[in-house]
A and B are shown apart, each in its own frame.
Chain A
Amino acid sequence: MASNHTATEENAKRHKVEGPKKHIIAFIFSILLTFIAFATVISGEINKDFIYIILIGLAILQVFVQMAFWMHMKDRGHTFAIIGILTGVFIASTCVIMAEYWAWW
């Protein structure tokens, strides 16, 4: 924050070039995914096992959208964010899986 003001100006410039277009598309897309998930369950006409498959598929797509657009994982210069997220995923999944395994099975 307390850097020279040139840095802030550069930041602003970069954001202007990028614009909110992609974010709006991603936002609509993620809402759409949520709506489809909701609709498949609420319709009551689809086989239960099939719903599971659809929901898992939609969830994976949703994670991709969230990570790529909102966590900026698609952008260049976000190496640290990517390393951080992957480390977090690794540590969290290890801990959750192991703790669940020993606590319940």
Chain B
Amino acid sequence: MAHAHTHKVKRYSGIKDWLTTVDHKKIGILYLIAGGFFFLVGGLEALLIRIQLWKPMNDFVSADTFNELLTMHGTTMIFLAAMPMLFALMNAVVPLQIGARDVAFPFVNSLGFWTFLFGGILLNVSWFAGGAPDAGWTAYAPLAGTTYSGDHGVDYYVLGLQIAGIGTLIGGINFLVTIINMRAPGMTFMRMPLFTWTAFITSALILFAFPALAVGLAALMFDRLFDGNFFDPSGGGNAVLWEHIFWIFGHPEVYILILPAFGVISEVISTFSRKRLFGYSSMVFATILIGFLGFMVWAHHMFTTGLGPVANALFSIATMLIAVPTGIKIFNWLFTMWGGSIKFTTANLFAVGFIPTFVMGGVTGVMLAAAPADFQYHDSYFVVAHFHYVIVGGLILGIFAGLHYWWPKMFGRVLNETLGKLTFWTFFIGFHLTFFIQHFLGLLGMPRRIWTYLDGLGFNEMNMISTIGAVLMGFGTIFFLLNIVTTSFKPKNASGDPWEDGRTLEWTIPSPPPEYNFAQTPLVRGYDAYWKEKMEGHSGMTPAEPIGPIHMPSPSILPFFMGLGLFIAGIGFMYAQDWGNLFDGFKLGYAIGIAGLLILFLCMFLRSVYDDHGFHIEEEEILRDKGGKA
């Protein structure tokens, strides 16, 4: 502590630590808890939907409730479960994989989490405030306008997603800057692990796609809250415009979701095949190409809108083109496994199960891309089956693979393999049981988004099977939770490289890593940096610097209050029309809304004027850590 520039070390513990942390590893865990919670909520909604549909003319829930369940299931799963769980993995792993001590903007990282969480909570408050959004997760106009959705349901959708979207957008920017600027010496772009690459491309997609959503939601907000008229044809607006804006965001969004899953699968398959990833550079190229093409295909969601044959043909071809880079990836994974000494750990089971499942989703994708055929499939259960194959069979299996793979790195404990395999088989079989049959339901003509169906249409047995599958998926999730709980009582004894075949930098440091990650920044000498050192007989990485004091950012409570401010502002503006006047001519709701924004601006002001230089972790402490762990 003899350094002249030592600042007072700020460290909190307990709940205060979690509210103020700017450590990417802890923020990753926060994302995982929040995303996992919303995953359970969305899963519960899915189960209720399946219970309603398990027999014809069922009256388990009312039609209104069914619409709410359906809308909230989609919205929750995409925005509040899948995205944050990806951010959880990205936060936990990307800085470690590039040999960085933190992300580029730790404060912004924490702000991204809290705005996401408050947006998600706002969206779900709607359940207790007189009705959740019920216009579908796409919120098509004019259905989502005040004429057809008069209550506050869709307001919650608009404001909740807007606030959560801010969090996602700044999270994406943070990872772009981190990956460009914070790589360890020698970690060139073409030496980056594939998960980092996919996180990079996904962040770029977030950067370009989320503003479109923000614009669309802002316009819809003006329509709904301030009597604007962007999307209502009866007043000169344009309903198709909403479809364009939504899908200009919405299509890249599905690639935002799936690309990191591709990254996870690449890491897991390569590690457990004990082989270098086959065709690394073509994988990188395919990722970039998918990212780019993802922006040029949005109108394939609108084939039946009536854009005309030229537009339909163009988007048809562009969509089919995406199958090429995706096919490259599939074959690369197969060739990686070919001749490898494969270990079927739980993580690898999920990864191997991912491949055929995702291929099936991809094939139905190409079928749907054929515009004339799409007129038959459109709005049927075939589409439901397709997108659940790519999102659950792709993304969720990828997330499960990633969680089992990186769990020891995040928490210092290896998940139980028996329970893990039980999770995989129940979830995997349940998944195929639920959704495979839905292809045929769709081809038989069962429309999506209906709350019940008549007897004698030939839908009965298939719906029953689908519901049984959904229950199995529920059991799979329960086994996973059970695994987490039982593992958390075990001693924290995972080694730095618990799979023993770790290839990338995150396995060179203790599990869980110290808050500064790397006592000495490693020198990267090639792709699969750690594997390379192992093969040359070294026990660890060559350090790129001597041990010295490490500069750390200070924790801050401001991001929490910024999220809270946005939450209060959202509630206030939403209910301004209902809550009456505070005093003559000034609505109470507006006062609350403005108060919320003032909290936000006050926090921004404090952050701007109060210079916090962070603190240093001194050599003594780093050496003590090293001694204790080694």
| Given contact pairs A5-B616, A95-B295, a sample of 8 additional A-B residue pairs in the complex whose CB atoms are under 8 Å apart | A4-B548, A88-B208, A91-B208, A98-B244, A99-B241, A99-B248, A102-B311, A103-B240
Q: How many residues of B contact A (CB 8 A)?
A: 38
- B514 CB, min distance to chain A CBs, angstroms: 12
* Bound form: Cα–Cα A29–B549 in Å: 45
Q: Is A34 an interface residue (CB 8 A)?
A: no
- A92 CB, min distance to chain B CBs, angstroms: 7
Contacts of B240 in A (CB 8 A): 102-103
- B314 CB, min distance to chain A CBs, angstroms: 9
Contact yes or no, B551 A5, CB < 8 A? yes
Proximity bits, B517-561, A CB within 8 Å = 1, else 0: 000000000000000000000000000010011111100000000
Interface residue ranges of A48-105 to B (CB < 8 Å): 80, 84, 87-88, 91-92, 94-95, 98-99, 102-104
Contacts of A98 in B (CB 8 A): 244, 299
* Bound form: Cα–Cα A69–B299 in Å: 37
Name 14 A/B residue pairs within 8 A (Cβ), A-sorted. Answer: A1-B104, A1-B614, A2-B552, A80-B180, A88-B208, A91-B208, A92-B208, A94-B295, A95-B244, A98-B299, A99-B245, A102-B244, A102-B299, A103-B240
* Bound form: Cα–Cα A104–B230 in Å: 13
Contact yes or no, B102 A1, CB < 8 A? yes
Q: Is B484 an interface residue (CB 8 A)?
A: no
Task: Specify the main secondary structure of chain A where it touches its partner.
Answer: helix
The 8 closest A-B pairs by CB, nearest first: A99-B244, A2-B102, A2-B101, A95-B248, A103-B241, A1-B553, A5-B551, A91-B295
* Bound form: Cα–Cα A91–B210 in Å: 13
Q: Is B238 an interface residue (CB 8 A)?
A: yes
Q: Is B212 an interface residue (CB 8 A)?
A: yes
Contacts of A8 in B (CB 8 A): 551
Contact yes or no, B295 A1, CB < 8 A? no
Question: In the complex where A3-B182, A88-B207 touch, is A103 in contact with B553 (Cβ < 8 A)?
Answer: no
Contact yes or no, B106 A1, CB < 8 A? yes
Proximity bits, A1-25, B CB within 8 Å = 1, else 0: 1111100100000000000000000
Q: Is B427 an interface residue (CB 8 A)?
A: no
- B106, B212, B551: most-surrounded residue (chain A CB, <10 A): B551
Contact yes or no, B307 A102, CB < 8 A? yes
Contact yes or no, B550 A2, CB < 8 A? yes
- B622 CB, min distance to chain A CBs, angstroms: 12
Interface residue ranges of B190-224 to A (CB < 8 Å): 204, 207-208, 212
* Bound form: Cα–Cα A2–B104 in Å: 8
Question: In the complex where A2-B102, A80-B180 touch, is A95 in contact with B212 (Cβ < 8 A)?
Answer: yes
- B517 CB, min distance to chain A CBs, angstroms: 8
- When C-beta atoms are compared, the residue in chain A nearest to B239 turns out to be A103
Contact yes or no, A4 B545, CB < 8 A? yes
- When C-beta atoms are compared, the residue in chain A nearest to B515 turns out to be A2
Contact yes or no, B244 A94, CB < 8 A? no
Proximity bits, B150-189, A CB within 8 Å = 1, else 0: 0000000000000000000000000010001010000000
Question: In the complex where A84-B204, A95-B295, A104-B238 touch, is A2 in contact with B244 (Cβ < 8 A)?
Answer: no
- B627 CB, min distance to chain A CBs, angstroms: 22
Contacts of A3 in B (CB 8 A): 101, 182, 551
